[in-house]
Structure 1
């Protein structure tokens, strides 16, 4: 089946990756990496130059015939037609999402994608990323990319993604289908390697799979081979499913990755020791399904599927369906609303999963039922969106955000409390009717001091969402739309939502914790008894004491914040770096003593460990080489003395 030559432009700052990709695509004769760029400015200049040259030579292009050797493999005489799309002389742009990560002055990857789509609407862009976070894929879709693929993808997967993106195809496979496709593709590729070698060595003597004889031993070996491959495939599928768990620790993830590599190596050894035999009955049964996936070189051209109509996705190389906007010409550089929609959509999707607190720190929201907890987080997200809209409408300057920080958080807390409990809700306690919301809002000062004033990154988050100011990540500023800034924005937003939710529930626990109507409407069924409620309140009280006296000074001394985030399965804490020297200078009393104790421990502990190790080694030497040998000599003397006595007691021989 004829195909066409695809001319590629690679934009990536890593020269090693550019060289590796060029070498990886070299065997595929229908793919030509015509030029490279290490930054956005160079890439735009290259596109402009090629676009001008293409306009001059638009009618001088001739057909090209190239032999294809790709996956799926093509017959040797399959022609490759010239691409009728002459946009800038390039058929597809391969762009690194993290472009400009280390240099904020350069054009960022997502912004460059939008500029390319705005200048050349018909030119597809395939985004490559080393970060498979959902928020990055969502950002790629918002940027107007034609596709998305992980940089760690296997070469056949990347080739398939390139062909589909260039052919206006889509990546529609789900994660489950991707897991199944990986095992099937690898197994069929291993089956084809011996056949390709046989075809290259002696194509005239290649046996016909449907007529070649097969012995009982051959069939038995093929059954063993198929059984082993099926077991390995099942194990790989289970490991791939386990790796999708976002709550996996780094150690567990590394162990599973190692097991996956071992299984792949075992499958490679199995397919080498027991190669597929063309004459085996087992292979005859598999030939039709093989022709649908990766056909052998002995197959006919009619059996080769169109690469643009097929896609393969592996678990380690996530590919995502991204449809280009209908109005490509309307694409403009990312604004604050684009970044906001990306981040809010990512957080919204996490709220649909489990919200169990898996940290060692008790939270006020832990007492709520799952549905009430989710309702509260949805409400806070909506109120934040309304707050951002009001700030845009009011045309607040970035300098005023810091001054209005406390009032903004107070308004957010008050509005959320009113809507969550009901603005006109009343509560009957001991025959007295209370206006619930008004009573709860009386704890404003307590909530401000204990929770709201200590939420980090509020001004930075609002400024980034409203004015696209660079966001500091590890002391490096990142522009809006960069994967690093998107991930940090998501973390700050999630922590703000969780802290505001705690602020909403805290007055309820302080004033109406044991009211039966409150228990029935809001509390988790495991925390309905008065004893459990009081235990929960005491845990919260001790948490704030320990946080004020130990945890917070320790975090200040270590220049970090511990933020609560949604992982997709639970709520966890993640540390982020932040300079906190002004707070460290202002510490006094017990918190200051805690920092001195930590500093003293850091200064003394290594030396004390060395002293203990030296003394321990000395004791070991004395016990083993001095006392031990002495005891050994004493024991030896005792044994020899006993032997001499026994010899003296024996009667002399006659």
Structure 2
């Protein structure tokens, strides 16, 4: 039998400085398979377009000199148009002035920061197979140059000064609580001081703070001074295929890694999910993710559209939560209850009510349509393809929000069941919640927070067109706000919630007039003190001096 002819190597057109060209060529050219454990097949690297044999399969641009963001975007588009349909891979140095918002909007199919040989070869393989690669480290959003200082009035200066003092004192108390004092009295005093400072900050922002400051995070600079913009989280996305299946696999891999890490709570709110043991918390999130995968397969087979898709999604939510709860509890685990062994999963399902609707969940069509039909979606006012980095991160935010909120609903039912089944606490809850007092305190705090959110915070969110979303990533659960119209939900509020929105509207309407009135009263008081009272005091003093002078002359 004759030997098969060797397949031609893919052509790669390289744009790089002469010093970097040799190193990149040695990484990308064909290597000895016996010396390379990864079995890299290699590429034919071309540095001059005149040496190309046909069209290149990939264009690689290693940035030596860093252009302006507008010039980088324009040049990337010219390269894509010139060498279409070849994908474009950009290589960035470790120190560059571009913010993550600029990098995510570039039209390149691949973007790697500070690449090594293995990362570069994997990226080239993925791009040649029709996928996408994005790997950027933590960068400052919007660049590192400070913006022009905006003059502030006396009220803004007093507000920021008060916030800085509160934050500095709060950081000092938190530093003294890490590690916590051994004696009980100092521990209680410090914890009470922390609660007092947080309530004082919220009250100050509620009374005087603008909307942009009222729900922001505390200042983190030393001595209460505001820091430079905090670095955004690094992003690493690899899509093997630019289809709905490839998009789901990329999202599933990222969320699986985040859920398996046992995320902590950085949302600023008390979560029922915090009451679960760390391993059970991860099992619950992973179970929900697996159930979503199975639900997606079912929806792909049925292929519902429009209102039918939304109706089927809502009908299947209780079953999905039940299966996730069974996955977390274990199908064959039995624990004693009232002198006899009972199956944990079946008992929990019998005692739990998992068919409640979460009113804070956004429209599921925005999340399901790209994952089922690979439809474009609207992100920041732009209609982008679902395989774009911005669309992937937006879909990850929607999916992680659904995961956390579904896990929160299941966790609340688990806490209620543990209150009546003490033997279940050692199996599902944290060691701190074994005591009945601690468990009941947590449940009471969760109920009070839920009532406060329903009566006051949710009407404020609706009136300001904000939707809080939970984001799962970087080993923690944090909360971000999504701005979208919510007028239909606003009209469905009860009279208590509508009274809250009317109070906000009255504050917005009367606030400028009240500030103007106070300013005019202040100006009038200044005139009275300087022109009337000051002159009167001056005349009295002059009379006293003249009287003393006459007595001395005598």
Place the TM-score, normalised by the shorter chain, in its bin.
0.5 to 0.7
Which of 321, 326, 336 is residue 244 of structure 2 equivalent to?
336
Deviation at 1:565, TM superposition (A): 1.2
Q: Deviations over 1:99-141 (max 9, x none)?
A: xxxxxxxxxx99x989989x54xx76337896648x969x98x
Is the Cα–Cα contact under 8 Å of residues 13 and 56 in structure 2 kept in the other structure?
no
Q: Deviations over 1:584-606 (max 9, x none)?
A: 22223211222222112111112
1:417 aligns with 2:325: yes
Is the Cα–Cα contact under 8 Å of residues 258 and 472 in structure 2 kept in the other structure?
yes
Is the Cα–Cα contact under 8 Å of residues 367 and 399 in structure 2 kept in the other structure?
yes
Deviation at 1:499, TM superposition (A): 0.9
Q: Deviations over 1:478-510 (max 9, x none)?
A: 331122221211111111111111121112222
1:360 aligns with 2:268: yes
- 1:587 matched to which residue of 2? 493
1:448 aligns with 2:355: yes
- 1:549 matched to which residue of 2? 455
Please state whether the residue corresponding to 1:574 is helix, strand or coil.
strand
Listed as ranges, the gaps of 5+ residues in structure 2 are 1-11, 22-45, 64-75, 127-132, 140-215
Partners of 1:636 and 1:411 in 2: CA distance: 91
- 2:523 matched to which residue of 1? 617
Which moves more between the two structures, 85-94 or 628-637? 85-94
Deviation at 1:576, TM superposition (A): 0.3
Partners of 2:18 and 2:403 in 1: CA distance: 50
- Aligned pairs for 1:635-646 (under 5 A) are 635-642=541-548, 644-645=550-551
The two structures, once aligned, show a CA RMSD in angstroms of: 4.9
Please state whether the residue corresponding to 2:270 is helix, strand or coil.
coil
Q: Deviations over 1:263-295 (max 9, x none)?
A: xxxxxxxxxxxxxxxxxxxxxxxxxxxxxxxxx
Please state whether the residue corresponding to 1:88 is helix, strand or coil.
coil
> 1:644–1:427: structure 2 CA closer, same or farther, 3 Å change rule?
farther
- 1:504 matched to which residue of 2? 410
- 2:425 matched to which residue of 1? 519
Q: Deviations over 1:79-98 (max 9, x none)?
A: x97763344389836699xx
> 1:342–1:95: structure 2 CA closer, same or farther, 3 Å change rule?
farther
1:345 aligns with 2:260: no
TM-score w.r.t. the length of structure 2 is 0.61
Aligned residues: 413
Please state whether the residue corresponding to 2:441 is helix, strand or coil.
helix
Please state whether the residue corresponding to 1:469 is helix, strand or coil.
coil
Partners of 1:488 and 1:115 in 2: CA distance: 30
- 1:431 matched to which residue of 2? 339
Q: Deviations over 1:375-398 (max 9, x none)?
A: 222222222222212322343445
Listed as ranges, the gaps of 5+ residues in structure 1 are 9-24, 32-63, 65-79, 97-108, 150-156, 179-246, 260-314, 326-330, 649-654
Deviation at 1:543, TM superposition (A): 1.5
- 2:443 matched to which residue of 1? 537
Deviation at 1:448, TM superposition (A): 3.2
> 1:635–1:344: structure 2 CA closer, same or farther, 3 Å change rule?
farther
Is the Cα–Cα contact under 8 Å of residues 470 and 480 in structure 1 kept in the other structure?
yes
- Aligned pairs for 1:102-501 (under 5 A) are 119-120=85-86, 125-126=89-90, 132=100, 145=110, 147-149=111-113, 334-353=242-261, 355-431=263-339, 434-442=342-350, 445=353, 447-449=354-356, 452=358, 454-474=360-380, 476-501=382-407
Is the Cα–Cα contact under 8 Å of residues 398 and 463 in structure 1 kept in the other structure?
no
Deviation at 1:335, TM superposition (A): 1.1
Deviation at 1:403, TM superposition (A): 1.2
Is the Cα–Cα contact under 8 Å of residues 401 and 463 in structure 1 kept in the other structure?
no
Partners of 1:401 and 1:91 in 2: CA distance: 39
Q: Deviations over 1:344-374 (max 9, x none)?
A: 2222333354622223321111112223222
> 1:372–1:541: structure 2 CA closer, same or farther, 3 Å change rule?
same
Q: Deviations over 1:196-233 (max 9, x none)?
A: xxxxxxxxxxxxxxxxxxxxxxxxxxxxxxxxxxxxxx
Partners of 1:493 and 1:392 in 2: CA distance: 17
Which moves more between the two structures, 387-396 or 540-549? 387-396
- 2:55 matched to which residue of 1? 88
Is the Cα–Cα contact under 8 Å of residues 137 and 235 in structure 2 kept in the other structure?
no
Partners of 1:368 and 1:473 in 2: CA distance: 34
| Higher-RCO chain (CA-CA 8 Å, sequence separation at least 6) | 1
Which moves more between the two structures, 570-579 or 432-441? 432-441
Is the Cα–Cα contact under 8 Å of residues 376 and 420 in structure 1 kept in the other structure?
yes
Q: Deviations over 1:548-596 (max 9, x none)?
A: 2112222111222111112414222111022222212222321122222
TM-score w.r.t. the length of structure 1 is 0.53
Is the Cα–Cα contact under 8 Å of residues 458 and 496 in structure 1 kept in the other structure?
no
> For the pair shown, which has the larger CA radius of gyration, 1 or 2?
1
> 1:643–1:341: structure 2 CA closer, same or farther, 3 Å change rule?
farther
Partners of 2:261 and 2:221 in 1: CA distance: 22
- 1:597 matched to which residue of 2? 503
- 1:310 matched to which residue of 2? none
